[in-house]
Structures are given as C-alpha cells and as structure tokens.
C-alpha cells in the first residue's frame, strides 16, 4: 500500500503568511521551518486549527556554535505522511520561551523538562515546578553543553516534593511508592480518598533518571544504537529501529527490502508478546488468575520464536543502522513462524475464556474511563488513545519498514475504559499476526543490511515507530567524527502518564491496579 496522500502541510504553510515562510529543509519524511520564538504560539494555534497535532517540543543548546538555544516544535497532519518541525532560536541574552502548555496540556511535562535540563524558562506555564529534576536537586542544567557528564553533585539538601494537601472532613491521603512490591521501577502515587472513592491522584516520576540523552553525546552513531535499545527494555527493538531510521535519513541510506520486512516481523512480534502479557496482567488484577497463566504461557511461546529467529528473546542487538545484524534463512523463517498458527488458535481460546466471564467484564467495563475529549487534550497516544476514540498509528500515518506495502487495520473505540484498552490489545494481536504473515510471504532473498557511511556533521532527522505502547520519536543531530551532537528521545509513556490521573477519578481504590495496568506505562521510558 503506497502512501498516496496529498501533501497537506505544503498547502497549510503556503496559506499561513510570512511567519512560517522560511523553509529550512524538506524531505520525504519531514519539513523544517524557522520562525521567531515570539511567533510560536500563534503558529501553533494556526496549525492546530488546520487539523495538525502537536507531537512534541524539545530544546537544544547550540550556544558554543552560534550563540543560540533552539526550541523545536513537532507537528503532524493526518493527510500528510511527513512531520513539520518549527525551529525557534533563543538569543544568548534571553533565557525564556513562550509556554503553550495552557492551550496544549500534552506539552506540560515536555516544557518543564526543557526548564530542568536547559535552564530556559517557559513563560506563562500553568505549573512551572520541576518535573525531571526533583525539588532537592542543586541548581544545575545537565543537558547544557558546559555541564560535564562526569560532574559529581554534592549531597542533596532542601525540601522534598510537597504534595497538594488533602482537605475536608473524612478525606484521607494514601501514599503508594515510590518503592513498590514486585519488580518495577519507582514512582510515587498520592491518593486523596473519601472512603473508597478516589477524589484525585498526584503522581511523581523521574526517581531514577538515567541521563540517556546526555549519554548519547559521548557516543559514536554505531555504538549509540545499543543505548537506544536500553531506554525501555520491553520496547528495545522499537526504540532501536526509531533511532536507526533517523541515522539512515541523515546518511541518505536506503535499507534493503528484505531488511524492511525482517524489521516489520520483529516489530510485530514485540507488539504481540507485550500485548499478551498485558492482557493476562489486566485480568489477574481482577482475580482471573487462570487466564493470566494461559497468557504467560503464550507470551513465552513468542519469546521462543524471537530467540529462534534472532538469538535474543527480547530482540536486543538485532537492529542496526542500514538494516539488521544477521541474515535469515528463508526456510528457517517459514518453519519458525509456523508456530504462530497454534499460537493464534490458543490465543483465541484465551480471549473466549476472558470474554465469557461476566464477573471479569463487570470489573473492567466503565472502569477507569478516559473520554475522547480528555484524551485529545492530553495528547494521549497508542493503545490508550485508540481506546478513547483517536485514530492514530505511526505505521499507517508515517510508514516505515515494510508498512507502506501492507494494509493496516487500526482498532478504535470510543468508551475509553479498561475493557476497551484490553480490547485494542486483543485486536492488535490478531492484526499483528496477519501483518507478520504478509511480511513473511514477501520476504525475498537479498542483503540484510547495507554499510553506513560516516555521517556528515550538523545534519538532523526524525525517526518514528509505533511501538506497542504507542508513538516513539527520536530526533538526532550529528557532530563531527560520526558522533551524536543531540538526541531527543520521546517514549509514549511521557505522553500518557497524566492520563492515569484523569482515569482514576471517581473510581474506588481497589480498581487502581487494573486501571494502571490497562495503560501499562514505562517508568524507564519516562526516566530516560
């Protein structure tokens, strides 16, 4: 399925006047436009009125090169397969940029990250408190170029994060975390409850921020792919692929068709094993332990297929710039993927078992509702967005790998409850099985990779992938000697954590675990 959509962004840019008339670069994947920082809110409002979605905002320190910081605003339009990136320069004698978080709540955390990491002020932000750096951190800005990664900070002093107090007779606070039972990373949830109903939830992330975006700046491009794979361990292949796509666009490299199809198969296997695990975890949180046991067994079957195809159960060290690291034998692939036939039958039996349970449906239906308006305002993406009425999928909207030759059915529901978030996963597992078979049927002999030339300095590009949680975005700018000058990483969890706050309101405390699991967000992807 070749993408024949009109180039809608060209029409929008030509109609919006001189503020956006200076095009920097354009390619098959993205358009870059310069604009004054003061014009960014008006430009954003115009683009949103024209049907664009504000995908991301991030910053870059280029003071040593041209005495400016830069703010980048990324947009997409449903009728254009390219991204639009607006670049606003911040003068050396200025430390502020206009906030858009009041109009676009999806940018709340991202603008506050810019404040924390770069020391630039988001003027007019409705809640400018620290987010990535906790309150007792010293006054440092680690993504500035003059901050050394080897800096040893003094012992932290000062006040910890202050939560909104619980007020009213019979209203109590329940703190959960940041250390949890089970093998998960830290995050703090502070509930205000009146009896069992939840009045509101406050959450605090970024307890184990790993400084990954800073670490990219110490690596060559060929080594940095291993760092990308470590951002979120259950999405290692998706993160690695998004990063490699950015490098390939910078280098002008055309990945061989067999490698495109191999990437597609592995991306869908990653989606399946995670979705199956989440389906089991959702039903076990409402007491259906037998169904979870079946789901765990099915997940194991996919992990064994992963290992048989690649040598890695979690698909680590498989993708590389220019393709994939190892070739596949065509007969071996067919024999390995033949295991998907009994898997599909047993998966359908699992779904029948779950859907025949009235008590399970009673616990999941109308629990943890995130309505379409809330999802739109918060910029919710991926599984959670599609369960709340938002028809977006990077595989279809910005095709990569072999997806431009495949028909993709995107499941969308309006109810936005736990049941529909589980149903989206069920539908996507079935769709992934069909996509794998279609990609495998067209897998021909040929090279599995091409050599990457040394990347030119001061070039930049986006890479995007529809990971199993949702949209993964990498923006890379190169430095001399095949190194990385800046790498912005956006995991879908950064968008979607605020949705949990909205979805739990009015529900009872015992339903929080299943609501939280239905979003299945990554602490690691947030604390990157």
pLDDT tens for the 528 residues of the chain, in order: 345 555 688 888 877 765 555 666 667 789 999 988 999 999 999 999 999 999 999 999 999 999 999 999 999 999 999 999 999 999 888 899 999 999 999 999 999 999 999 999 999 999 999 999 988 888 899 999 999 999 998 888 877 788 888 778 889 999 888 888 777 888 999 999 998 899 999 999 998 888 999 999 999 999 999 999 999 999 999 999 999 999 999 999 999 999 999 999 999 999 999 999 999 999 999 999 999 999 999 999 999 999 999 999 999 999 999 999 999 998 999 999 999 999 999 999 999 999 999 999 999 999 999 999 999 999 999 999 999 999 999 999 999 999 999 999 999 999 999 999 999 999 999 999 999 999 999 898 899 999 999 999 999 999 999 999 999 999 999 999 999 999 999 999 999 999 999 999 999 999 999 999 999 999 999 998
Q: Which of 81, 84, 89, 83 has the alpha carbon at shortest distance from 6? A: 81
pLDDT, position 26: 65
87: three-class secondary structure by DSSP: strand
Structure tokens at 362: 């009673």
8-123: CATH class:
alpha beta
Question: Quick one: which of 414, 398, 365 has its CA closest to 515?
Answer: 365
pLDDT at 229: 97
Instruction: Answer positive or negative: Cα dihedral of 381, 387, 391, 397.
Output: positive
Alpha-helical runs (H) found in 122-256: 212-216, 221-229, 236-251
Can you tell me the distance from the alpha carbon of 266 to that of 218, in angstroms, rounded to the nearest whole number?
A: 29
Q: Give CA–CA dist 365/460, Å, rounded.
A: 45
Q: Which two tokens stand for residue 87?
A: 């670049």
Peptide bond preceding 178 in cis form (omega within 30 of 0): yes
Per the CB < 8 A criterion, the answer to whether 281 and 299 are in contact is no
The reported pLDDT for the residue numbered 177 is 83
**CATH 3.30.460.80 occupies which residues in the chain?**
8-123
At 466, is the secondary structure helix, strand, or coil?
Answer: strand
User: In CATH, what class is 212-526?
Assistant: mainly alpha
- CATH 1.10.645.10 in the chain is located at 212-526
Tokens representing 367 are 């629990």
pLDDT of residue 32: 93
Output the six-digit token pair for 94: 């200025």
Three-state DSSP at 513 gives helix
Instruction: Give the span between the Cα atoms of 455 and 463, in whole angstroms.
Output: 16
Q: How far is CA 497 from CA 109, 264, 294, in A?
A: 10, 27, 29
The predicted pLDDT at position 1 comes to 38
């Amino acid at each position: 399925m070749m993408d024949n959509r009109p180039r809608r962004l060209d029409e929008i840019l030509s109609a919006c006047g001189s503020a956006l008339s200076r095009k920097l670069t354009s390619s098959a994947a993205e358009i870059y436009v310069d604009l004054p920082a003061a014009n960014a809110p008006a430009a954003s409002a115009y683009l949103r009125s024209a049907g664009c979605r504000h995908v991301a905002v991030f910053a870059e320190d280029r003071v040593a090169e041209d005495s400016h910081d830069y703010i980048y605003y990324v947009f997409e339009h449903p009728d254009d397969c390219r991204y639009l990136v607006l670049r606003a320069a911040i003068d050396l004698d200025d430390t502020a940029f206009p906030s858009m978080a009041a109009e676009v709540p999806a940018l709340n955390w991202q603008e506050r990250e810019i404040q924390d990491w770069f020391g630039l002020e988001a003027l007019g932000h409705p809640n400018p408190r620290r987010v990535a750096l906790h309150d007792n951190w010293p006054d440092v800005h680690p993504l500035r170029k003059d901050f050394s990664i080897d800096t040893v900070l003094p012992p932290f002093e000062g006040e910890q994060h202050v939560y909104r107090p619980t007020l009213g007779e019979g209203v109590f606070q329940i703190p959960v975390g940041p250390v949890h039972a089970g093998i998960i990373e830290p995050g703090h949830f502070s509930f205000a409850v009146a009896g069992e109903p939840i009045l509101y939830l406050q959450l605090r992330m970024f307890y184990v921020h790993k400084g990954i975006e800073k670490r990219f700046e110490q690596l060559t491009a060929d080594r940095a792919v291993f760092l990308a794979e470590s951002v979120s361990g259950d999405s290692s292949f998706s993160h690695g692929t998004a990063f490699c796509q950015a490098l390939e666009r910078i280098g002008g490299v055309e990945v061989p068709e067999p490698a495109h199809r191999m990437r597609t198969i592995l991306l869908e296997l990653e989606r399946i094993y995670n979705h199956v695990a989440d389906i089991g975890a959702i039903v076990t949180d409402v007491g259906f332990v037998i169904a979870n046991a079946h789901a765990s067994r099915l997940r194991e079957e996919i992990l064994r297929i992963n290992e048989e195809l690649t040598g890695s159960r979690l698909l680590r060290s498989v993708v590389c710039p220019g393709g994939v690291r190892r070739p596949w034998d065509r007969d071996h692939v067919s024999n390995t993927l033949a295991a998907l036939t009994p898997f599909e039958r047993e998966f359908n039996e699992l779904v029948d078992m779950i859907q025949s349970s009235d008590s399970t449906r009673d616990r999941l239906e109308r629990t943890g509702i995130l309505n379409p308006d809330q999802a739109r305002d918060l910029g919710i993406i991926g599984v959670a967005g599609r369960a709340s009425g938002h028809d977006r999928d990077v595989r279809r909207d910005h095709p990569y790998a072999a997806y431009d030759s495949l028909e993709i059915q995107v499941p969308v529901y309006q109810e936005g409850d736990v049941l529909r978030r589980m149903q989206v996963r069920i539908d996507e597992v079935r769709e992934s099985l069909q996509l794998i078979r279609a990609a495998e049927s067209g897998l021909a002999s040929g090279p599995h990779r091409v050599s990457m030339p040394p990347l030119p300095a001061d070039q930049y590009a986006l890479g995007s992938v529809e990971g199993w949680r949702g949209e993964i975005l990498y923006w890379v700018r190169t430095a001399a000697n095949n190194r990385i000058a800046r790498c912005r990483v956006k995991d879908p969890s950064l968008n979607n954590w605020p949705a949990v706050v909205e979805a739990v309101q009015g529900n009872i405390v015992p339903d929080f675990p299943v609501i939280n699991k239905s979003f299945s967000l990554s602490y690691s992807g947030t604390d990157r």
